[in-house]
Structure 1
Amino acid sequence: MLEIRNLSSGYGAINVLWDVNLTFREGALTAIVGPNGAGKTTLLRTLTGLIPHKGEILLGGQPLKGKTWDLAAQGIVMVPEGRLVFRDMSVEENLCLGAYPARCRGDLSANLERMYAFFPRLKERRRQLAGSLSGGEAQMVAMGRGLMAKPRILLIDEPSLGLAPVIVNEVFDIIRKLKAEGTTIVLIEQNTRMALKVADDVHLMRSGKVVMSEPAANVDLDRLHDLYFAREGHAP
């Protein structure tokens, strides 16, 4: 569904990604893991047009076109690292912003109710300013806002970052439900154990390159951690 070929990108004169080749299967959850500085977030920023790149990004076999603000209309939606909610707007106003694409506006009320079914806590706090929420609640707002755009492909960047374990479990329960509904998901995650539990495919990045790609069911966690921490010289 989404494919990248010989992708290189970075920030000014600093290159971060080096000839990355990946395929994200339709309806599958693809987890991308790796240490800090591996290039995981840069990959998502490149996919969403925030960073210039060399190489190809293909959606359904065709080059991905349009600017960053056009991608939601094509069904590519990103839930950014660090939540990034609009602090001075209410929970419901934040969610409604996710329905900006024209194809989503007619179903606004129904989509809101769907989000409140996914995240009952947000319904209780729908009039509350997003800036007053806990970290876990803010993560739910960020995810709900992304889902309001009815994504074909959902890019989720570090959803567990800074959250208590019980909240992490809640967030991953939602990710499992989305996967069960057939949403194509690209998940960036440092918690390798949690990622492996929900993933269909796993790619390990290190120093801007993909050093391992396997079906999640075949991944040996000890070997993954050896590669993660560079205890092996190279991927086989």
Structure 2
Amino acid sequence: MLETRNLRAGYGHITVLWDVSLAFREGALTAIVGPNGAGKTTLLRALTGLIPHQGEILLGGAPLAGKTWDLAGQGIVLVPEGRMVFRDMSVEENLCLGAYPKRSRGDLSASLERVYGLFPRLKERYRQAAGSLSGGEAQMVAMGRGLMSKPRILLIDEPSLGLAPVIVQEVFEIIRRLKAEGTTIVLIEQNTSIALSVADDVHLLRAGKVLLSEPAAQVQIERLHDLYFAREAKTA
């Protein structure tokens, strides 16, 4: 469904991704794991046009068309690292912003009810300023805002970052439900255990290169961690 071929991207004269070729299957949850600085967030920024890139990004076998602001209309939605809610706006106002694309405006009420069904806590706080929420609640707003666009492909960047373990489990239960509903998900996550527990496919990035690409069921956790922490050179 979504694919990169020989993708290079970075910032100014600094290249972060080196010839990254990946395929994200329709209806599957693909986990991208790796240490800090591996290029995981850079990959999402390249996919969404936030930074320039070389190489190809394909959607349905054709070059991905349009600018960053057009992608939600094509069904590609990013839930960014760090939540990035509009602090002075209410929870419901934040959610409604996610329904900006024309393809999702007509069913605003139904989309709100769906999000409130997934995140009952947000319905309790729908009038509350987003800036007054806890970190976990703000993550729910960010995810709900993305779902309001009725995404075909949902890109989620580090949803567990800075959250208490009980909230992480709650957030990932929602991710499991979205996967079961058939949403194509690309998940960036440093917590390898929880990433493997929800993933269909796993790719490991380190230093901007793909070191492992396997179905989640075939991943050997010790080998994954050796690659993750660069221990393979010591054991070779």
Task: Identify whether the pair has TM-score above 0.5, normalized to the shorter chain.
Answer: yes
Q: Percent identity?
A: 83
1:192 is matched with: 192
- By how many angstroms is 1:103 displaced? 1.0
Where do 5+ consecutive residues of structure 2 fail to align? none
Tell me which amino acid in the other structure corresponds to 2:170: E
For residues 233 and 66 of structure 1, the distance between their equivalents in structure 2, rounded to whole angstroms, comes to 42
Tell me which amino acid in the other structure corresponds to 2:194: M
- By how many angstroms is 1:3 displaced? 0.5
Matched, 1:73 2:73: yes
1:53 is matched with: 53
Once the two structures are superposed, the pairs formed by residues 12-91 of structure 1 within 5 Å of their partners are 12-91=12-91
Structure 1 residue matching 2:232: 3-state secondary structure: coil
Tell me which amino acid in the other structure corresponds to 1:18: W
- By how many angstroms is 1:221 displaced? 0.7
For residues 98 and 106 of structure 2, the distance between their equivalents in structure 1, rounded to whole angstroms, comes to 13
Where do 5+ consecutive residues of structure 1 fail to align? none
Tell me which amino acid in the other structure corresponds to 2:21: N
Instruction: Give deviations 1:30-51, integer Å, cap 9, x for gaps.
Output: 0000000000000000000011
1:142 is matched with: 142
Tell me which amino acid in the other structure corresponds to 2:174: I
Instruction: Give deviations 1:85-122, integer Å, cap 9, x for gaps.
Output: 00000000000000000111110000000000000000
2:164 is matched with: 164
For residues 8 and 204 of structure 2, the distance between their equivalents in structure 1, rounded to whole angstroms, comes to 17
Structure 2 residue matching 1:55: 3-state secondary structure: strand
For residues 6 and 166 of structure 1, the distance between their equivalents in structure 2, rounded to whole angstroms, comes to 39
2:107 is matched with: 107
Instruction: Give deviations 1:61-103, integer Å, cap 9, x for gaps.
Output: 0000110000000000000000000000000000000000011
1:122 is matched with: 122
Instruction: Give deviations 1:122-147, integer Å, cap 9, x for gaps.
Output: 00000000000000000000000000
Tell me which amino acid in the other structure corresponds to 1:217: A
Instruction: Give the number of aligned pairs.
Output: 235
For residues 42 and 122 of structure 2, the distance between their equivalents in structure 1, rounded to whole angstroms, comes to 30
Query: What CA RMSD, in Å, does the superposition of the two structures yield over aligned residues?
Result: 1.1
1:183 is matched with: 183
For residues 156 and 230 of structure 1, the distance between their equivalents in structure 2, rounded to whole angstroms, comes to 25
Structure 2 residue matching 1:233: 3-state secondary structure: helix
Tell me which amino acid in the other structure corresponds to 2:233: G
Tell me which amino acid in the other structure corresponds to 1:182: G
- By how many angstroms is 1:233 displaced? 3.2
User: Structure 1-normalised TM-score?
Assistant: 0.99
For residues 222 and 133 of structure 1, the distance between their equivalents in structure 2, rounded to whole angstroms, comes to 38
User: Structure 2-normalised TM-score?
Assistant: 0.99
Runs of 4+ aligned structure 1 residues displaced above 2 Å come to none
Tell me which amino acid in the other structure corresponds to 2:32: I
